[in-house]
Amino acid sequence: MAFVCGLGTFGLSKGLITARGRAGRLGSLVTNLPLTADERPYSEIYEYCTQCGACVKQCPVAAITIEAGKNHQRCSAFLDETTEKFKPRYGCGKCQVNVPCESHIPLSPVAKPTTTSNTTAKGLNLWSGDSTKDSDRIVVISDLHLGLDDSFSETVKNKAYIVSFLNQLTASDVDELVIDGDLLDEWFIPTGNSQPADLQEFFTKDADNNRTVIDAIKSVMKSGIKVTYIPGNHDMLLNQAILSAILYANVQRRWDALQDANGVAVKLPYATATAAAQDATFCDQQAVTQYFNVDPSVDVVVFGHTHVPVINRYPEGYNREKVYANSGTWIDRNLLGADMTFVAIESGKDTTDVRLMQYQPDGTVTNLEQQ
């Protein structure tokens, strides 16, 4: 009724956003006073909602998502639980406080994440103003971890932002997009979950569950941007026979042969490599060990995998400055650092500029090294 009367529009969490914000109560008045109806100041049901995602992060039971809005059943179950625990108090309200629409209509609407390709998307501010036209401009993303089922996938809320980001790349003067591992996820699956019969069927269904992202990548390719895909440990895209034959069978006995096949410059003992596999700093140090200390022609190394976005510069000790960056991850909740991070590389004839950046819900980007 309040929406019809022109008092406000709804938000992701289905609360009404009025001129006084969301954190309030509505009442009604019955009268026979003749009143002249005025025009509603909006036309869309969610017009005042900027889809910033603040209420998504506030919800203690993940009952709100950018793509699906509010799961009323999950919210209700949580309220029933808290009512029993804290009665006579009742309610939650965390989606109404400490959010941009708490006390007013957000004054600076953000760009709403899109779920389809958009050829007129606004470009991203990625490059320096004094760069030359012959510079190669490369964007590196990694560790999207798109899952088979959104009920357990690590990336659900951020999928819409991934699509928006990819759409904006097509208008951002990018020459190449590198997907540096773990686009799809064949590992993060609950025990006992029913899985497809083979890997081909698995990845087909995984791609179908994340069709908006896959289609956005195809649109990037159609725009003329080169897309380079490097499989990670979560998406090797190998069939069962190959996995059994060359990866998991006698891996310790074949360790040296595997390092040769992958072009490892400085061989690591099997025990050292496996023991340090979960150490992000050890992984970062391999940029120095395997590249900068071995090949003076290598100036920039970018890894993914660790989910820890970082950039390290080495201005001394080499023929010129060396830069290592880790592109981080796009999962919804990264406990190891920022999410929605990527690396932008601008390589000209004489200089190379590397930036570690974060995509924001409003469609802008932030240079994390400057924060």
CB count in 10 Å sphere of residue 58: 17
SS3 342: strand
The token pair that represents 206 in the structure block: 């995984």
pLDDT digits (tens, 9 = 90+) for 78-131: 888 888 777 776 678 888 887 888 877 875 444 445 545 444 567 888 987 655
The token pair that represents 90 in the structure block: 């009742």
Above 60 in pLDDT, residue 209?
yes
Helices 159-169 and 211-222 cross at an angle (nearest 10°) of 10
Above 60 in pLDDT, residue 247?
no
- Give the whole-angstrom CA distance, residue 161 versus residue 362: 9
Q: Calculate what percentage of the chain has a pLDDT beyond 90.
A: 30
Best CA proximity match to 69, nearest among 162, 157, 167, 4? 157
Best CA proximity match to 352, nearest among 325, 326, 317? 325
Query: Residue 109: what pLDDT?
Result: 40
Query: Residue 322: what pLDDT?
Result: 94
Q: Are 182 and 145 in contact (CB under 8 A)?
A: yes
- Give the whole-angstrom CA distance, residue 103 versus residue 331: 30
Above 70 in pLDDT, residue 236?
no
Domain boundaries, the chain: 8-86, 136-370
The set of residues, in sequence order, having a beta carbon less than 8 Å from that of 324 and lying 6+ positions away, is 284, 287, 288, 292, 300, 301, 302, 303, 310, 311, 312, 314
Instruction: Label residue 1 exposed, middle or buried (CB < 10 Å: 0-12, 13-18, 19+).
Output: exposed
The token pair that represents 216 in the structure block: 């956005």
- Mean pLDDT over each residue of the chain, to the nearest integer: 83
Query: Residue 243: what pLDDT?
Result: 33
Structural class in CATH, domain 136-370:
alpha beta
